[in-house]
């Protein structure tokens, strides 16, 4: 498998990778919670696949960031599935502010990954071994998911997994308590003090 170099990166991505993947991309939505929220996903399928890779992106990212990785995995002989996480990209979000990522419970991310890996991928690729590639917040989701369902994936790559949040020097226990109080006061879907909407 050839890795795209920096010297002709833009040209090859625009003229080779993106058109190639477009031919193999299937996209749609699934509703893991009985039709309440729609989660956007993409699948890249090939007839001679040796396995399935589910990809989980990081905080404030989407499937768009992973075009190059999808291409490499596909070229290596894998079916690829990736979703826009709840509150990200084209998936359901709980508020109008596109800069604010909010969900009610972290476990919703685990349920969405479970649905992608065991319902969507299994429906289309039953019997193929499944692997996980997850980055940053996705790596935290992947680690929690594998603890929750250890037999779903044969193996995983967790790239810079977000296992513990940065709390700006505040001890984790105190930061957790502050967050709990904010939620009790009905401010769970607001920015952490000092943070704000993206300013282009």
Q: What is the pLDDT of residues 71-110, one digit of tens each?
A: 999 999 999 999 999 999 999 987 888 888 888 888 999 9
In tens, the pLDDT along 144-196 reads 999 999 999 999 999 999 998 888 889 999 999 988 998 899 888 888 777 88
Average pLDDT of the residues of the chain? 92
pLDDT at 64: 96
Tell me which DSSP letter residue 126 carries: T
Q: Provide the H-helix boundaries in 46-136.
A: 67-75, 107-115, 121-125
Cα 78 to chain centroid distance, Å, stands at: 18
Strands (E), the chain: 25-30, 39-44, 51-56, 78-83, 130-135, 155-159
For the cut 80, the answer to whether the pLDDT of residue 124 exceeds it is: no
Task: Indicate if 172 and 128 belong to the same structural domain.
Answer: no
Number of domains in the chain: 2
Query: Residue 110: which domain range?
Result: 9-163
**d(C-alpha 144, C-alpha 149), whole Å:** 9
Task: Indicate if 101 and 194 belong to the same structural domain.
Answer: no
Task: Indicate if 146 and 54 belong to the same structural domain.
Answer: yes
Task: Indicate if 128 and 66 belong to the same structural domain.
Answer: yes
Task: Indicate if 151 and 173 belong to the same structural domain.
Answer: no
For the cut 90, the answer to whether the pLDDT of residue 35 exceeds it is: no
Whole-model pTM?
Answer: 0.91
């Amino acid at each position: 498998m050839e890795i795209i170099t920096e010297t002709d990166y833009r040209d090859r991505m625009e003229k080779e990778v993106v058109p190639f993947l477009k031919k193999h991309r299937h996209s749609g939505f699934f509703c893991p919670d009985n039709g309440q929220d729609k989660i956007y996903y993409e699948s890249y399928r090939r007839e001679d696949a040796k396995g399935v890779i589910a990809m989980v992106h990081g905080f404030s990212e989407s499937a768009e960031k992973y075009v190059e990785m999808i291409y490499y995995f596909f070229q290596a002989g894998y079916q690829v599935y990736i979703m826009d996480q709840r509150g990200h990209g084209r998936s359901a979000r709980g508020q109008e502010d596109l800069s604010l990522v909010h969900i009610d419970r972290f476990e919703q991310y685990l349920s969405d990954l479970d649905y992608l890996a065991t319902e969507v991928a299994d429906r289309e690729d039953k019997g193929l071994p499944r692997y996980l590639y997850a980055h940053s917040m996705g790596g935290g989701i992947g680690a929690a998911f594998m603890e929750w369902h250890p037999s779903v994936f044969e193996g995983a790559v967790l790239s810079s997994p977000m296992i513990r949040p940065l709390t700006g020097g505040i001890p984790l226990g105190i930061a957790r308590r502050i967050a709990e109080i904010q939620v009790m006061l009905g401010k769970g879907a607001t920015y952490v003090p000092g943070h704000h909407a993206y300013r282009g």
